[in-house]
Amino acid sequence: MKKWMFGLILAILACIIFPTHNAVAEEPLPIRSITKEVNLLADDYATIITTIPENATVIMYEKSNGWAKIGFMQYTGFVKLNVLKSIKPEPMLASSKNPPYVRETNNFHAKPLGNVYVDSIVQVYATDEQGWSFVQYGNLTGYVIATALKTPKTKTMVVKEPKGLSVKLTASTSSSEIAVLQDKTKVEVYTLLQGWAYIVAGDIQGYVVASKLQNTTIPKIGKFNYGVVTKTKRVALTFDDGPHPTITHQILKTLEKYDAKATFFVTGHRVEKSPDVLKDVFEAGHEIGNHTYNHPKLTDLPMKQVKSQIEQTNKLVKSIIGEEPTLFRPPYGSFDKEIQASLSVPLIMWSVDTLDWKHREPAKTLDAVQNYSKNGSIILMHDVHQTTADALDQVLAYLTKQGYEFVTVSEILN
């Protein structure tokens, strides 16, 4: 046999024997739920060891000929394979001041298998009626008292590591590698723990070095209806179609009263008529967005005119405030992929439509805000209707009482 052939065979064998990290990560966890009450049997498949209640969580060790060898609390035995079903775990945060133990059974006197670090993440498969959660924690599986666990608040971040970022089973450099995340991968961060971040990215979950993650920035192109949900409640108020010589000023005064920042999507033809109003809006610290030159339905226009509607307004705004609008909102929310792709700033829609232009009633504008606003909402109003300016004081009073902060659209997207 030629030497190169021998090498090739070795290489093929190596691929078969040593699976890739991906193959390991994709292998389903051997934790299952019991679909109905069943007897756990000894290896004669007849002697009853104990009875397992419906919905109990078990570890599956082996399966053959329709039988599964499983672990349930301190027992090991056999059940029919068809009483088992897969369950997906939920990451939960260990929050108790006294770190809980992972125990062998759902009982405070049960054998402790290991302790859980405060602020670390455990995978919860199920919680029983006695208030014990069946968890996986690193290499441990067992029961943790559910009151020591809470739902974590997550934050989206991006991998910043050109060589790829190693995901570990536990928060330790010596821990085994589950997967490698490519540079620029978006991850959900569940907790930070002594320089480590517990992340979820698609099917991959585990610990990465926290310093290799960075905050997301607003992508250049995108369609945004909602802002990021943060610990403090925030909404972004947006005012379209202005500026208006008197109404916009009334709105500015009300915003100032509540120390609120907002975003104004201006039209070029009104900017030409009221350049000083635009200047006042900008100098008060509000964000300026582009809302075309004279408010056409862009999907009815050839691309050349679409671009001219946007560019004309960009130039006008820049000639007055010294910079171009940082956002774009299409009139009537009407756009297509080609229009979106032609933009150099984010395309912003809305999540709460007050319909202020339609009903022209302050009470109905307030109603819409009360009924639909939540953390991260982008609220649509128009600073060309007197009734909107008249509604704003009550709107801001209500949202302030509910604990909301008022931020610009660019802020709410971060």
Q: Which stretch binds Zn ion (CB under 5 A): 13-21, 54-62, 248-256, 323-331?
A: 323-331
Q: Are 230 and 374 in contact (CB under 8 A)?
A: no
**Does residue 240 have an active-site annotation?**
yes
Query: To the nearest whole angstrom, how small is the minimum distance from the Cβ of residue 338 to Zn ion?
Result: 20
Query: To the nearest whole angstrom, how small is the minimum distance from the Cβ of residue 239 to Zn ion?
Result: 10
Identity of the residue, 117 or 357, whose beta carbon is nearer to Zn ion in the bound complex: 357
Task: Tell me which residue has tokens 């068809």.
Answer: 82
Q: Is 356 in the site for Zn ion (CB under 5 A)?
A: no
Q: How far is residue 91's CA from residue 95's CA, in Å, rounded to a whole number?
A: 13
| Contacts (Cβ under 8 Å, ≥6 apart) of 109 | none
Query: To the nearest whole angstrom, how small is the minimum distance from the Cβ of residue 330 to Zn ion?
Result: 9
Identity of the residue, 77 or 331, whose beta carbon is nearer to Zn ion in the bound complex: 331
Q: List C-alpha distances in Å: 226 to 45, 92, 372, 412.
A: 56, 25, 12, 8
Q: Is 161 in the site for Zn ion (CB under 5 A)?
A: no
Of 240, 241, 356, 383, which one is the catalytic site residue? 240
Q: Which stretch binds Zn ion (CB under 5 A): 27-35, 327-335, 354-362, 386-394?
A: 327-335
Q: Which of the 8 DSSP states describes residue 82?
A: G
Q: Is 331 in the site for Zn ion (CB under 5 A)?
A: yes
Cβ density class 195-216: b for 16+ within 10 Å, e for less? ebbbbebeebbbbbebebbeee
Size of the site for Zn ion (CB under 5 A): 3
Q: Which stretch binds Zn ion (CB under 5 A): 125-133, 277-285, 330-338, 390-398?
A: 330-338
Identity of the residue, 242 or 362, whose beta carbon is nearer to Zn ion in the bound complex: 242
Position with the least CB separation from Zn ion? 240
Of 244, 382, 383, 385, which one is the catalytic site residue? 382
Per the omega criterion (within 30 degrees of 0), is the bond before 243 cis? yes
Q: Which stretch binds Zn ion (CB under 5 A): 66-74, 177-185, 233-241, 343-351?
A: 233-241
Task: Tell me which residue has tokens 């070095």.
Answer: 209
Considering only residues 235 through 274, tell me which ones interact with Zn ion, judged by CB under 5 A: 240-241
Q: Is 85 exposed, middle or buried (0-12, 13-18, 19+ CB in 10 A)?
A: exposed
Pairing, β 347-348 against β 223-224: parallel
Query: To the nearest whole angstrom, how small is the minimum distance from the Cβ of residue 266 to Zn ion?
Result: 10
Q: Which residues bind Zn ion (CB under 5 A)?
A: 240-241, 331
Residues carrying an active site annotation: 240, 382
